[in-house]
Amino acid sequence: MRVVLVLTIVLFFSACSHKKVSKELKAFKYTPAGVLVPQKSGKGRVGDNYIYAPNIRFPLEKAPAYINSQVYGVGGMYGKRGSLCSKENYKYPWHDNYCEKRSWSMPLCPSGKGHQGVDIRGATCEAKKYYAVAVERGVISYIGNYSVYLRGESGRTYRYLHLDSKTLKVRIGQRVKRGQRIGLVSDNMGNTKTSIHLHFDVKETLLIDGYSQKVFVPIYTSLVDAYKRLLKGKP
């Protein structure tokens, strides 16, 4: 009798979880790669839908998550007035922000400069609640004041910025598995103010103008692909 009861409970919660995932998958929407916020935020890499990091796990442990601009979104430095915790920042559709106006040298961006990756908010505007996880197996190659680098077995380097440095789950030189917890998303940026989010970017070696260069690649489409698998329960 007890076994039957336990099985019934497990099946009930599994059905509820599947229903929630299906609802989230139906709600998920995103704007095309390279289409940036139309507020003088720069020019993105429009039309580049290539998946530079195939089959990676989504870098946040759980859904929902929201990719959008921290600078040109509501409450951002150049965005609409309001709170960084505005509901506008925590809803679909996603908006690419790779190549958004920045001073960093970026050979794959139309202007030659720009944002090196994308910014990802968790489900809610709460610091130190949502875990960033390893997107593939690899080694933790660097830990800074607010950043962690993961060198994947693929040869790609993944950077996780704005994690809470006091509660990291990894150390330099540690081998990690796909999906293993790295740290908690926060607004940590040293003495500089920022919003609660994960900046995530990927560096890999490409052949550019006949020369091999290690560059920050467009990651938005790869994350769309990874997020769909996460929502289907197959991260």
Q: In this structure, what DSSP letter does residue 97 have?
A: -
For the chain, the structural domain boundaries read 2-231
**pLDDT tens profile 52-101:** 999 999 999 999 999 999 999 999 999 999 999 999 999 999 999 999 99
- Residues 159/214, Cβ–Cβ less than 8 Å: no
pLDDT at 10 over 70: no
Place of tokens 């890999």: 204
**pLDDT tens profile 17-47:** 556 667 889 999 999 999 999 878 999 999 9
Alpha-carbon distance values, 122 to 74, 102, 127, 156 (Å): 16, 23, 9, 24
Q: Is the peptide bond before 59 cis (omega within 30 degrees of 0)?
A: no
pLDDT at 209 over 90: no
Mean pLDDT of 209-229: 96
DSSP string for residues in 171-232 = -TT-EE-TT-EEEEBB--BTBS---SBEEEEEEEEEEETTEEEEEEPP-HHHHHHHHHHHHT
Calculated CA dihedral for residues 188, 193, 195, 198, nearest 10 degrees: -40
Alpha-carbon distance values, 204 to 108, 180, 194 (Å): 12, 22, 27
As assigned by CATH, the class of the 2-231 domain is: mainly beta
Residues above pLDDT 90, as percent of the chain = 85
Kindly report which listed range (7-11, 67-71, 75-79, 102-106) carries the lowest average pLDDT score: 7-11
- pTM, full prediction: 0.90
- Residues 141/150, Cβ–Cβ less than 8 Å: yes
User: What pLDDT shows up at residue 20?
Assistant: 62
d(CA 44, CA 97): 7
**pLDDT tens profile 107-116:** 999 999 999 9
H or E element in which residue 141 lies = strand 138-143
d(CA 205, CA 213): 5
